[in-house]
Structure 1
Amino acid sequence: MLNLCVGLNDLPDEILMIIFKKLNNIDVLYSLHGVNQRLNKIVHDSIFTSCLTFVKWFSHNFMDLISSDMMLNRFCLQILPEIHDKIKWLNLESSSMKHVLCATNYPNLYALGLYNIDEESVRCLFTSETLPSNVFKNQITILFITIDNNKETILTVVNICDYILTVFTSLIYLSLYESSYKNRLRLLFDDPPPPTFHSSTLQKLNIKIQCFDDCLYLLDGRFNQLNTLYVDLLSIQCPEEIHNQSDLPNLKCFSLSCDYETNYYDELILPLLYRMSNLEQLGLYIAIFVDETFIDGNNLKRNIINRMPRLNQFRFYIRSLMFIHNQVNLPSAEDIQRTFIDFPNNNIISYVNYFPEARRGRCHIYSYPSRMQYYSGIPNNFPGGLYTYVRVVLLLDERPFEHEFFLRIQKSFPFMEQLT
């Protein structure tokens, strides 16, 4: 360490900043904090102290970067108390989050990321008498949470949301997901949520939910300041009768994704969109059963774009499936692509497949680059591309896949977690 410090001291501050910015902030602080006054001044810069991330994504899960008790003690007893007023954002893993949050006061902390949590750790943390309640109630406006899906149940999501909305009364942005993609943990209301399940400050929500009913509950007025909503559904089925389905003039950004096919595009999805008269950004990532014709550019222009005068950004992935009986003049890939000639977004990918044995047709249309998390029903004529948001891939064709096809899949989905 002595030789390293001598070498660093020979370099100008500008070069040291360039070097340190290429390293993890946690490593920089742990290795160089307290070495000498000059290095302290550099590593205490806001570049290294305003956002501290103690977790790392590794092998489909989040890992704690605090690897030993000695490292934890050094941060909690020495480093964090000295830079406490510089910290604005903390990303913590469940095993060390209470130690870090209790190490000192954080007067300028406004954002938290809590990873791999479970219901018990949330309950203990949020009810801890050693933590000043005003930090959660008054300071935290941004909260990211991932739930440990190795042991938790769907009921856990409701309970954790209850804790969050009760404790974090100044939240503006909430994002809640499972730690790795297993499609197990989603918000599900067995009954209408209680009146306490609400927020008068929340403006942006990103969450996985079970069904269309749950989406309608989120939009029934309990979050009256909400302007941005991202929901990923397990299924879209005909909902129960839900009150207060009035217009949603505050909603400016909405994204809906569901990988399972639905028959309710006209009956549920479009009426929901028509409630959003001031929508400016829309993401629609869905699969639809159709009777006579595929969803194409003309359908999207007629039923969505022309009905939303304020819409300036429309990203989508729509997979439509049709049972083939006695239809004639079935559309080709060229027919579908021609419907996007005068489309607002001119970077559209489309292709069509017909499967004689199954007597089915399938059409994919999507804006590119895409932000979809799923890509299902990929056939041999998959056009390729780069899909960094996709985590789940499903292959489907009546002809066998060749080696070159799998190489194309590997290149197209670098962050794929599930392949079937």
Structure 2
Amino acid sequence: MECSYVQLDDLPDEILLIIFKKLDNFDILHSFHGVTNRRLNRIIHDPLFTSNINFVTWSSDKFLNKLSSNVILNRFCLQILPDISVKIKLLHLESSLAKNILRAADYPNLYGLGLYNTSGKTARRLFTDKRFSTGIFKKQITRLIITTPKDKNYWFTIVKICSCIFSIFNKLTHLIFSESLYENYVPLSFYFPSRSFSSSSLLVLNIKIQHFLLLLYILDGRFSQLHTLTVDLINNCIYTNLIENKEEISNLKWFVLSCANEIAHYEELLLPLIYRISNIEKLSLYLTIYVSGKFIDGNDLQKNIIDRLPQLNLFTFDIRSVMYKNDQMNLPSKKDIEETFRDFQYTKIISYVDYFLKKKKSQCHVFSYPSEMPYYQEITNNFPGGLYQYVRFISLYDEYSFEHEFFIKISQSFPFMEKLSLINYQSQKHTQSYKSINDNYDSTIVKYNYLVTLHIGEVHDDYIEEFLSNTKTYFHNNIRIYIKYKSLERVTHNFTRDVLRINCAKINEIFLYGEKIYSKSLQDYFPCAIIH
């Protein structure tokens, strides 16, 4: 260790700061706090490394506690935190150990708190602790992140937290209910929130909610100072007999609305709500909308949104309008849609049109680029490519086959994709191993570096081989897969095919459709998987 300190000490402060910035603050403090080298001690006490400390890490589909042993916990609670507590402004804590960390020292400058894996029991212990509820929670915390684990009391926990959160955190200005994985965003589930779910200080709210009605309640005046609202709708049901409230929402300046499911009543309900936000300056809409007569295009967006909002200076959107129609002869082409955006001079617009003859369905996808949309639905062979760093969930669908090159484009366009769903019953035209036809075959392997969940239950067998063959596809361990048993049995040659074993060994959970009597070889073929 002495040798390593000498080597570090030979470097100027500027270089040490560059190196340490690449590391996690938790690791820096744990490794270097208390060393005899004064210069290193001075550098690690810089606000860069002490103002924001994260005690959790994301792993596959859940948050893990970095305080993996009592030795590490005691070192932080007894030595490190008391020494730097005055400099700490933000803490991200696994909720079961939040009490230990918060009691380890006084944090006079702490204003931001992240509570991860917050169960109902943990929430009660934290929120009823008078030292916190009458002290740091009540008087200091202005920014709060809360996540809850998926357990049998999941919905009850969320409702309980929401019913008391603003009476405990009196100075809250920023509230986020979310996790990194798209499908784990914490949704508010109650239909009629109590008046205690209100705040006169909240400025920024980022949540996922079950239904459109709750959005109307959020905007009924209970958050009078709210200026930024980000909402993701789970349920696509938008009822027409909603609460009557036509008052202006004058304080809201930035509104982001997204929904992964197809919704209706765009003109009857969504547009009137947007018009009530009279002073809106930034608007983002990421929606799939049922339409009957015509697609939503540039003319529609100009007339019904941009021209109606005089304060609007930034409008980003990803709108996929879906139409079910027997006669597709008179529907517009891609060129027709592009022409409607001729006046959008300062924004790059991407658009394309798909027609599905078997489904008697057509869709028009228009969006501003670059995009911050969280998901991308029903991608077809017409997908133009690009880079979508914020997308975590995608679905692929077409009535024409997806070839291997298409999946290369998909993996490059969505580098942080965590969930992929595929529907395609058309066989691939080229299915031979890319290793056998390409000397530089590593460049042709599709790489999914962040993939967690794969839905391939409604596909031709070729696509199962596409994902399970390590000469075509690479993914990390701990993959969850949804698939039909009979299809899996065919592709693996009754679980004897060696060429697929490498990727199959990376799967840790399988949800099987169809047959309930499985081959004895199934578990051996997927040695690391829990089979449902």
Please tell me the TM-score bracket, short chain as reference: over 0.9
Q: Would the alpha carbon gap of residues 345 and 96 (structure 1) be closer, same or farther in structure 2, given more than 3 Å must change?
A: farther
Amino acid of the structure 2 residue aligned with 1:332: S
Q: Post-superposition shift, 1:83?
A: 0.6
Question: What's 1:222 paired with?
Answer: 222
- Unmatched 5+ residue regions in structure 1? none
User: What is the rounded CA distance, in whole Å, between the counterparts of 2:141 and 2:240 in structure 1?
Assistant: 34
Kindly indicate whether residue 336 of structure 2 is the aligned counterpart of residue 335 of structure 1. yes
Q: How far apart are 1:173 and its partner, in Å? A: 0.6
* 1:394 to 1:378, Cα distance in 2 relative to 1, 3 A: same
Cα shift at 1:147? 1.7
Partners of 2:177 and 2:208 within 8 A in 1? yes
> Does residue 267 of the first structure (1) align with residue 268 of the second (2)?
yes
CA distance in 2, matches of 1:112, 1:363: 42
Question: Are residues 148 and 400 of structure 1, via their aligned partners in 2, closer, same or farther at CA, if it must alter by over 3 Å?
Answer: same
Contact 1:115–1:179 at 8 Å: present in 2 too? no
Deviations 1:341-389 (A, max 9, x none): 1115431110001111111111110111111112111111211111111
Distance 2:297 2:182 in 1: 30
1:17 Cα deviation (Å)? 2.1
Give the structure 1 partner of residue 209 of structure 2: 209
Cα distance in 1 for partners of 2:373, 2:237 equals 17
Paired position in structure 1 for 2:466: none
CA RMSD, aligned part only? Answer: 1.7
Partners in 1 of 2:215 and 2:231 — Cα distance? 7
Amino acid in structure 2 at the alignment position of 1:11: L
Verify the 8 A CA contact 2:290 2:321 in the aligned structure 1: yes
The CA distance in 2 between the partners of 1:95 and 1:45, in whole Å, is 29
SS in 2 for 1:182: helix
The match for 1:290 is: 291
Partner of residue 149, structure 2: 148
* Corresponding letter in the other structure for 1:21: K
Aligned length: 419
Q: CA deviation at 1:149?
A: 2.4
In the alignment, the residues of structure 1 paired with residue 56 and residue 318 of structure 2 have an alpha-carbon distance, to the nearest angstrom, of: 32
DSSP 3-state at the match of 2:117: strand
1:310 offset after TM fit, Å? 0.7
The question of whether the paired residues in 2 share the 8 Å contact of 1:109 and 1:139 is answered with yes
CA distance in 1, matches of 2:179, 2:92: 16
TM-score (norm 1): 0.95
**Residue 306 of structure 1 aligns to a residue in which SS?**
helix
Aligned match of 1:76:
77
Equivalent position of 2:303 in the other structure? 302
Give the superposition deviation at 1:61. Answer: 2.4
* Distance in 2 of aligned mates of 1:59 and 1:194: 35
Report deviation, 1:152: 4.4
- C-alpha separation between the residues in 2 aligned to 1:294 and 1:173? 37
Using the alignment, how far apart are the partners of 2:264 and 2:124 within structure 1?
A: 40
- Aligned-partner Cα distance in 2 for 1:173–1:195: 19
Task: State the Cα deviation string for residues 99-122 of structure 1 (Å, max 9, x = none).
Answer: 111111100001111122222211
Aligned to 2:89: 88
Which residue does 2:29 correspond to in 1? 29
Question: Counterpart amino acid of 1:339?
Answer: T
Task: Tell me, yes or no, if structure 1 residue 313 matches structure 2 residue 314.
Answer: yes
Q: Which residue of 1 aligns with 2:361?
A: 360
Q: Which residue of 2 aligns with 1:97?
A: 98
Closer, same or farther: CA 329–395 of 1 in aligned 2, 3 Å: same
In 2, the alpha carbon distance for the partners of 1:341 and 1:236 equals: 34
Q: Who is 1:325 aligned against?
A: 326
Is the Cα–Cα contact under 8 Å of residues 210 and 233 in structure 2 kept in the other structure? yes
Q: Give the match for residue 414 of structure 2.
A: 413
Mapped contact 1:92–1:114 kept (Cα < 8 A): yes
Tell me whether 283-292 or 344-353 shows the greater mean CA deviation: 344-353
Deviates more, 1:177-186 or 1:199-208: 177-186
Secondary structure of 2:145 counterpart: strand
User: What's the secondary structure of 1:175's corresponding residue?
Assistant: strand
Moved more, 101-110 or 402-411: 402-411
1:233 equivalent to 2:237? Answer no
Q: Deviations over 1:388-413 (max 9, x none)?
A: 11111111111121111111111111
Identity between Structure 1 and Structure 2 (%): 54
Aligned to 2:386: 385
3-state SS of the aligned residue for 2:183? coil
Structure 1 stretch 358-367 or stretch 320-329: which is displaced more? Answer: 320-329
**Counterpart amino acid of residue 229 in structure 1:** L
**Residues 1:418 and 1:298: Cα distance change in structure 2 (over 3 Å):** same
1:67 match: 68
Give, in angstroms, the shift of residue 330 of structure 1: 1.2
CA-CA distance at 1:62 after TM superposition? 2.1
2:297 counterpart letter in structure 1 = D
1:64-112 Cα shifts (integer Å, max 9, x gaps): 2222211111011000001110001111122322211111110000111
Higher RCO by CA contacts (8 Å cutoff, separation 6 or greater): 1
Amino acid at match of 2:321: S
TM superposition shift of 1:299: 0.2
Instruction: Tell me how far apart the structure 2 counterparts of residues 13 and 132 of structure 1 sit (CA, whole Å).
Output: 41
Contact 2:148–2:154 (CA under 8 A) maintained in structure 1:
no
Match of 2:503 in 1: none
Q: Give, in whole Å, the separation in 2 of the partners of 1:377 and 1:241.
A: 30
- Give distance in 2, aligned partners of 1:258 and 1:132: 35
Q: 1:224, CA displacement in angstroms?
A: 0.7
For 1:380, the aligned partner's letter is: N
Give structure 2 stretches of 5+ with no counterpart.
Answer: 422-532
Structure-to-structure mapping, 1:158-237, within 5 angstroms: 158-178=159-179, 180-182=181-183, 185-190=186-191, 192-234=192-234, 235-237=236-238
Shift of 1:20: 1.7
Q: Secondary structure at the match of 2:323?
A: strand
Distance 1:118-1:271 versus aligned 2 partners, 3 A rule: same
For 1:399 and 1:150, locate their aligned partners in 2 and report how far apart those are by CA, in whole Å. 40
SS at match of 2:262: strand
Deviation at 1:7, TM superposition (A): 2.3
Which residue of structure 2 aligns with residue 351 of structure 1? 352
Q: Which TM-score applies when normalising by structure 2?
A: 0.76
Q: Deviations over 1:112-165 (max 9, x none)?
A: 111222222111112124536321111111111222125542332221112321
